Amino acid sequence: MVIGSGIAALAIVGAAGGTALGLSSQHTTTTSSQSQGTTTLPDTGSGTNGFTVPGDGSGSGSGSSGTDSGSGTSTESPATAATAAQKKGVVTINTVLNYDASSQAAGTGMVLTSDGTILTNNHVIQGATSITVTDETTGKEYKADVVGSDATNDVAVLKLEGASGLSTVTLDDDGEPSTGDTVTDVGNAEGTGNLVAAEGSVTATDQDIQVQSETGTGTESLTGLIEIAADIVSGDSGGPVLDSEGEVVGMATAASSGTADVTGYAIPITTAKSIAEKILAGESSSTITIGLPAFLGVQVSGTASTGGVAVAGTVEGSGAASAGLVAGDTITSIDGTAVASSDALTSAIQSHSVGDKVTVGYTDSTGAAKTVTVTLTAGPAA
């Protein structure tokens, strides 16, 4: 979905079968406030629980000036097929969203190690129940696991299963680019699986942008970004922004939409690398989640409910399903603390880890108050 005329996400989200529904809001448009443990059914609710339902693309956002808003001359050129050198270490990413595979998403990533450590945007894999990565140098496909993610800063690290001998990207270590520098974005443009290179120039650094979240429920921000005049489009998220020496200086994250001249935004590679190193070291924090988040496994109804959160269904194999929760139940508490909304339920689950046991208080369809112990399983990517 194109998000109005403001800042648009660059990861494509579509319905199964390939029909493009929109752009997954990157944290620049995409740190959707996905709940880690519940999900809203498309037909019965509009919340952000569990799985992200593609929105209608009507949101909008705007960028704000950073500390270096120089007025360098734009060198934006039409995008062309990426060369072999530009493809080196770049992968395309395809994900399945929702346990019923009703939606799919596509983006880009960078190979950090020859055995398959991948750097990408969090919003590229957010809500994924299955991730497939293709090495565009060899054409080989791999299944990928989530090592960890930082939704606030829109960074994620994946590990490919059974990978070895992969070509890697070369990260720049000379510091961030300057206004006027020529750069090239390489990405899975429009999610076609074909890498495209778009040359442009740095128009500003240290930029802060604010956009509407993927679900349209609020605004989110990213700070310290590189602003680029280049033909950066949906599907490019997580891909490299290369300097004139072919080294990675940034990770494409967002772009303007609704105007003839595209303004793209990239996370400086020094920032992304620093976060990736913390993830690889297993250092969880208030923003970093290691592995997959804890998951209750209930589908939340959008129907108003007094005194709790109405359950529309459960995910097969989840803790909620195994514990016997069913559609028609209303969850009233977690570990004795009342939950009156899906947001409160989400927060309660987010404070736990996979494997934790929680006591769920609920009323069944007859109004009888009950409690049950639920073991939290691993949910979709955070």
Least confident of 65-74, 108-117, 175-184, 291-300: 65-74
Any idea how long the chain is?
Answer: 382
Residue-wise pLDDT tens digits, 364-376:
999 999 999 999 9
In this structure, the answer to whether residues 267 and 346 fall within a common structural domain is: no
Look at residue 255 and tell me if it is in a domain.
yes
Note whether 280 and 322 are same-domain residues. Answer: no
Distance, CA of 53 to CA of 95 (rounded, Å): 14
Burial 62-81 (b: 16+ CB within 10 A, else e): ebeebebeeeeebebeebee
d(Cα 66, Cα 259) in Å, to the nearest integer?
21
Same domain, 230 and 342: no
Could you tell me if 104 and 247 lie in one domain? yes
Among the three residues 259, 288, 317, which one is the final residue of a domain in this structure? 288
Question: Which residues are CB-neighbours of 31 under 8 A, at least 6 positions away?
Answer: 25, 122, 123, 126, 151, 152, 154, 213, 214, 220
Q: Are residues 249 and 321 in the same domain?
A: no
The count of domains in the chain is: 2
Same domain, 210 and 89: yes
The CATH number of residue 134's host domain is: 2.40.10.120
Nearest alpha carbon to residue 158 among 142, 169, 147: 147
Q: Do 17 and 126 lie in a common domain?
A: yes
- Dump pLDDT digits (tens) for 245-287: 999 999 999 988 656 677 999 999 999 999 999 999 999 999 9
112 in a structural domain? yes
Q: What pLDDT is attached to residue 26?
A: 29
* Residue 103, pLDDT above cutoff 80: yes
From 288, 303, 327, give the residue that closes a domain. 288
Q: 78 and 111 share a domain?
A: yes
276 and 352 in a single domain? The answer is no
Question: Has residue 43 been placed in a domain?
Answer: no
106's tokens: 């596509």
Q: Say how far apart CA 56 and CA 233 lie, in whole Å.
A: 18
Whether 21 and 77 map to the same domain: the answer is yes
Contact 122, 33 (CB under 8 A): no
Residue 317 counted as domain residue? yes
**Does residue 9 sit in the same domain as residue 62?**
yes
| 18 and 80 share one domain | yes
Looking at the domain assignment, is residue 48 inside a domain?
A: no
Residue 237 and residue 108 in contact, taking contact as beta carbons nearer than 8 Å: yes
Domain boundary among 234, 253, 288: 288
Burial profile 169-190: b = 16 or more Cβ within 10 angstroms, e = fewer: bebbeeebbebebbbbbbbbbe
Reduce the secondary structure of 154-185 to three states and give it as a string.
Answer: CEEEEEECCCCCCCCCCECCCCCCCCCCEEEE
Question: What percent of the chain stands above pLDDT 70?
Answer: 76
* Mean local confidence (pLDDT), 104-121: 97
Give a yes or no: residue 74 inside a domain.
yes
Residue 263 forms part of a structural domain: yes
Residue 340: domain span = 294-378
> Is residue 44 in some structural domain?
no
